[in-house]
Amino acid sequence: MPDVPSLDLQKIQPLIETALEEDVGDGDITTLWTVSETAAARAELIAKAPGVVAGLGVAAAVFDAVDSAIVFDARISDGSRVAPGEALAEISGPARGILTGERTALNFLQRMSGIATMTAQYVDAAHGTGTRILDTRKTAPGLRSLDKYAVAAGGGQNHRMGLYDMVLLKENHIEAADGIGPAVLTARSAMARAGRSVKIEVEVKTLRELEDAIAVRADWVMLDNMDAETMRIASERVRALGPGRPLLEASGNVTLETVRDVAETGVDLVSIGALTHSVKALDLSLLFRA
């Protein structure tokens, strides 16, 4: 099971409150009009498809926000693989609160588990190559911390969190700065003036551009939409530099069918936007039990 990082539930509390306000509005009239205020219930979260679970703590926080009397008892931990029919958690307490929080909790949990499941599929496909699977910034607006947490739960690794924690010089930055060399040197000068120290990554599309990135000692180099043979040549060139060489990342239209071929070119990292922008929610269900 992957080493899953901790999730700051206090930081995401506003997300939970926004999601509940969106769903509940001024009241869950179906539940309020049909379920007794004193009714108690016990329910289970059940997997209906195989996958990797992420977001149990978020689901628990949703129910707690609805009614602190609800008890959420997780039977597994984030990063666990589940089979159809397996119980993820038991929820008990006021029936009204469980029913009101059900959809919001499932929305978070199903999306996050879908991301973890897809990530695990890519990690499994690249197993044994030494290549790590990365996410991107192609996340649902407002949900980045949850999306990236789910990637980690699936065994992947996080790229930069945002525009603030790493310099990534892409095609348009390089064009605007009149080339890779000027872009990197200008970024380093600005970094020094700001008293900061972050990695600088450069996107390249050709072997010539790779040489430019090497010349200015970029920390990372992203090989953008290169074919496998060109990536193999690039990997050999970079690895020949020895200690202190830049990390090499492959990016661009990588699929489950192609990720192993890409990994076997010798790149250190493969970044995949589909992990978060094209996720299929894991099929989960909440069922009341007698």
81 occurs within a structural domain? yes
CATH code for position 42: 3.90.1170.20
Domain total of the chain:
2
- Residue 4, pLDDT > 90, answer no
Q: pTM of the full predicted structure?
A: 0.96
pLDDT confidence band for 5 (50 / 70 / 90): confident
Token reading at 98: 């469980």
Do residue 138 and residue 257 come from a single domain? yes
Catalytic residue among 42, 75, 81, 103: 103
Whether residue 129 is found in the same domain as residue 268: yes
Shared domain for 137 and 243, answered yes or no, is: yes
Per the prediction, the chain carries an average pLDDT of 97
Assigned domain for 254 exists: yes
- Copy the structure tokens of residue 72: 């959420």
Confirm whether 203 is a catalytic residue: yes
Same domain, 136 and 261: yes
pLDDT at 121: 98
Local confidence band at 1 (pLDDT 50, 70, 90 cut-offs): confident
> Could you tell me if 105 and 130 lie in one domain?
no
Write down the pLDDT at residue 228. Answer: 95
Q: Which residues of 26-58 are buried (b: 16+ CB within 10 A; e: fewer)?
A: eebeebeeebeeeeebebbbbbeeebbbbbbbb
Residue 43 and residue 25 in one domain: yes
Average pLDDT over residues 73-92: 98
Quickly tell me which residue has 């909790």 as its tokens. Answer: 105
**Widest Cα–Cα separation across the chain:** 72
Quick one: average pLDDT of 143-156?
Answer: 97
Q: How confident is the model at residue 89 (pLDDT cuts 50, 70, 90)?
A: very high
User: Contact at 8 Å (CB) between 156 and 135?
Assistant: yes
Query: Residue 3 pLDDT more than 90?
Result: no
pLDDT band, residue 60 (cuts 50/70/90) = very high
Same domain for 57 and 105, yes or no, is: yes
Asked if residue 23 has pLDDT above 90, the reply is yes
Same domain, 136 and 264: yes
pLDDT band, residue 72 (cuts 50/70/90): very high
Report yes or no on 233 lying in a domain: yes
Domain of residue 158 covers 125-277
Give yes or no for residue 159 having a pLDDT over 90.
Answer: yes
Q: Are residues 155 and 235 in the same domain?
A: yes
Domain presence at residue 57: yes
Is residue 8 domain-resident? Answer: no
* Residue 5 counted as domain residue: no
pLDDT reading at 277 higher than 90:
yes
Active-site position among 21, 73, 170, 196:
170
Name the active-site residue from 224, 261, 264, 283. Answer: 224
Active-site choice (75, 138, 144, 205)? 138
Residues 6+ apart with CB under 8 A from 56: 74, 76, 77, 78, 88, 89, 109
Up-side HSE of residue 176: CA atoms within 13 Å toward CB? 7
Q: What is the DSSP string of the chain?
A: ---PPP--TTTTHHHHHHHHHHHHTT--HHHHHHS-TT-EEEEEEEESS-EE---HHHHHHHHHHH-TT-EEEESS-TT-EE-TT-EEEEEEEEHHHHHHHHHHHHHHHHHHHHHHHHHHHHHHHTTTS-PEEE--S---TT-HHHHHHHHHHTT-B---SSTTS-EEE-HHHHHHTTSHHHHHHHHHHHHHHHT----EEEEESSHHHHHHHHHTT-SEEEEES--HHHHHHHHHHHHTT-TTPPEEEEESS--TTTHHHHHTTT-SEEE-THHHHS-----EEEEEE-
Domain presence at residue 2: no
Q: What is the pLDDT of residues 199-223, one digit of tens each?
A: 999 999 999 999 999 999 999 999 9
CA-atom Rg of the chain in angstroms: 23
**Known catalytic membership, residue 224:** yes
* Residue 148 is among the residues annotated as catalytic for this protein: no
Same-domain status, 267 and 211: yes
Asked whether residue 108 falls in the same domain as residue 131, the answer is no
Residues 104 and 25 in one domain: yes
Selecting among 135, 147, 203, 268, the annotated active-site residue is: 203
Output the pLDDT for position 32. 97
Q: Is residue 7 part of a domain?
A: no
**What's the CATH number where 271 sits?**
3.20.20.70
